[in-house]
Structure 1
Amino acid sequence: MKIPELTGKRTVITGASDGMGLVMATHLAGAGAEVILPVRNRTKGAAAVAAIRRVHPDATVSLRDLDLSSLTSVAELGKTLNDEGEPIHVLLNNAGLMTPPERQTSVDGFEVQLATNHVGHFALVAHLLPSLRAGNARVTSQLSVAAARGEIRWDDLSWSREYDGMKAYRQSKIALGLFGLELHRRSLAEGWGITSNIAHPGVAPTNLLAARPELGRSRDTGARRVVRLMSKLGVVGTVESAGMAALYAATSPEAVGGRFYGPSGLGNLGREAGGAEAVQAARGPGRREADVGGLGAAERCQLQQLIPDVRAVRCPIHPIRAYGDVVALTLDAHRPSGSQMLRRST
């Protein structure tokens, strides 16, 4: 897949210190883009920068600090990037956690997969709106084939009654997909100039199911070992191919907003990016409409339980209900500094 010329473009990609995120960051750097890697672990981040520069010695790549599971950390990164005063042209919401063996919560009280995969990325977009609008940005959010078989558990978003790691993971990715589609609809309605779409990597031996002691997983899962074997046999994709659909969605002149991009081939699990093909939309079981305009009023009403309104309006943003508590997520879109503020209160 050929990446268009990106010289002079500022790109931000989460989850790029290893795996397919690092592959995508390397491709972006090779196309001439400035690449910003927000990372939780500076040591891993520095190794990623070194890996990129081994391939592209003249790459413009740098690190910023980010823990997506912390709204405070997300707000700090948003302020940092906005204060730098440079437009952002591409934002790849790629980072993710998958299936901790035991239920965990973030510092803000969210189930940790929802906190990292959806809420953190939503908050990042909200804080970066000034820079994204200035760059007429493309925002691409990375989902999962797992989302096609899941649903949002509206009556227990925190999975506090009966935890199922895979179902909670699917929920977090469906939520991110709904946000990605809704972001494009609202950008069109408000004239933000932001193009938002969603993508998935198919199946590949990425690091999502690798050993993660901090998540209570001391070794690679059996599923990862099976996927690694299937990848070697050419049945599913590779770490190198996994990010191609998201790169297409984020950079190709032919990719459009409000669509869902993934690998082509049987079950959309293969090695090649699917081009302009729109695949299963993240709207829950049995739904195949990939057009953002297809979201009905009832679904948008439900969506407000999970994400706050991000329209650039002057009135206060109303609270949303999550995890049994009323959590006020307030986006002040008209501060004199032009920055966004995401505030949590109970």
Structure 2
Amino acid sequence: MPRRPDIDIPDLSGQRALVTGASDGIGLVIATRLARAGAEVLLPVRNRRKGEAALATVLRQAPGAEVALHDLDLSSLASVRDLAARLQDEGRPIRLLVNNAGVMTPPSRQTTTDGFELQLGTNHLGHVALVAGLLPLLRAGGATVTSQISVAANSGAVNWADLNWERSYDGMRAYSSSKIAFGLFGLELQRRSAALGWGITSDLAHPGVAPTALLAARPELARERDTVGRRVITAMSRRGILVGTVESAALPALYAATSPAERGGRFYGPSGPGHLGGAPAEQRLYSRLRSEDEARRVWERSEQLIGTSIGG
């Protein structure tokens, strides 16, 4: 049996970490590994039942760890603001923020509480609002912010002509658009932090391809059964063919978030064929992520959409 890829994670004792999308899949692996390394881990979840099961899983694998559930629905800007306000009231610096949560390709167009196309609103704007709300705590902690994008950010474009996909919805193109926008935002966060002395390090990761819940049956997304793609990925993963496992898919973000060598503005993903699976390694930025003008445009438009000036 081939050796499974893994990384060493440094001691994180005394460091506060927040991981979105940690109620299952890659996010749960990330949260568990951070807890095992000694971090105090915050699990903001939309579904309390799943969150409690995730909390129990983390504590089974990291006995004695400090882990806390919080309520968060990234598809609601009010929910994001509420979480940020609660953590601001606690006043404790955040050292690690892993923006991992996401939704993928609802069969039909859906919208967030605030009227945004669901993938734009959840994958991108919800996380932008979270960074904005937590910025003082991130600055106080000298935080590393790791934003999880996708191999889908290597195709398509930000749909500037119709950001909300109101005229011609295409689930995969909308997903790519949201992930490109989020990647550009993460890189602009690094540039602004460096220019303004925020002390935040911002980087990007992608998990490759693995059998996660993104393409599984999701009745709330009007997806009644696992997609064909998910079934194929699961079969390939079990056989060790090209794609990764949920555990290996968590490694790029874990490396980006915890490596002492990380300096910001870098991009990590699996190093295997096609960057679909394998051990994590630094990768060349996708072409869609290289324009600083596009990154500034994403930042400014995102501020307008969430109604908040980030760092202002």
Q: Same fold (TM over 0.5)?
A: yes
Name the residue aligned to 2:146.
Answer: 140
SS of structure 2 residue aligned to 1:330: coil
User: Which protein is richer in strand relative to its size?
Assistant: 1
Q: Which residue of 1 aligns with 2:309?
A: 331
Tell me the secondary structure at the aligned position of residue 69 of structure 1.
coil
Give the structure with the higher percent helix: 2
What is the 5 A alignment of 1:306-345? Answer: 306-308=301-303, 320=304, 327=305, 329-331=307-309, 333=311
Q: Kindly provide the amino acid, as one letter, of the partner of residue 44 in structure 2.
A: P
Give unpaired runs (5+ residues) of structure 2. Answer: 1-6
Amino acid at match of 1:191: G
Picking from 21, 39, 45, the partner of 2:51 is: 45
Instruction: Decide whether aligned partners of structure 1 residues 221 and 17 sit closer, same or farther in structure 2, where only a CA change above 3 A counts.
Output: same
- Partner residue in 2 for 1:245: 252
Q: Is the 8 A contact 1:40 1:65 kept in 2?
A: yes
What is the TM-score normalised by the length of structure 2?
0.94
Aligned partner letter, 1:279: R
* One-letter amino acid of the counterpart of residue 89, structure 1: R
Could you report, residue by residue, the CA deviation over 1:48-103 in whole angstroms, capped at 9, with x for unpaired residues?
A: 01011111111110100000000000000000111111100000000000000000
C-alpha contact (below 8 Å) 1:68/1:74 kept by paired residues: yes
Aligned length: 305
Matches within 5 A, 1:267-278: 267-274=274-281, 277-278=282-283
Equivalent residue number for residue 71 of structure 2: 65
Out of 278, 285, 292, which is 1:280 matched to?
285
Distance 1:105 1:51, change over 3 A: same
In structure 1, C-alpha distance between the alignment counterparts of 2:81 and 2:120, rounded to whole Å: 17
Instruction: Tell me, yes or no, if structure 1 residue 183 matches structure 2 residue 189.
Output: yes
TM (norm. structure 1) is 0.85
Give the partner amino acid of 2:279: E
- Work out whether residues 262 and 279 of structure 1, in 8 Å CA contact, stay in contact via their aligned partners in 2: no
Do 1:238 and 1:271's aligned partners in 2 also have CA atoms closer than 8 Å?
Answer: no
Greater relative contact order structure (CA < 8 Å, 6+ sep): 2
Q: How far did 1:302 drift?
A: 3.3
Is the contact between residue 125 and residue 306 of structure 2 (CA under 8 Å) also seen in structure 1?
A: no
The one-letter amino acid paired with 2:92 is: E
Preserved contact between residue 20 and residue 43 of structure 2 (Cα < 8 Å): yes
Amino acid at match of 1:43: R
Quote the residue 1:159 is aligned against. Answer: 165
Pair 1:54 & 2:49 matched: no
**Which residue identity lines up with residue 253 of structure 1 in the other structure?**
P
**In 2 relative to 1, CA 328–212 (structure 1 residues): closer, same or farther, beyond 3 Å?**
closer
Q: Give the alignment partner of residue 230 of structure 2, picking from 202, 224, 227.
A: 224
Distance in 1 (CA, whole Å) between partners of 2:200 and 2:306 is 25
Does the CA-based 8 Å contact 1:249-1:256 persist in structure 2?
A: no
The residue aligned with 1:101 is 107
- Give aligned-pair identity as a percent: 61
Q: 1:212 and 2:218 equivalent?
A: yes
1:6-85 pair list within 5 angstroms: 6-85=12-91
Measure the CA separation in 2 of the matches of 1:152 and 1:114: 10
CA-atom RMSD in angstroms: 1.5
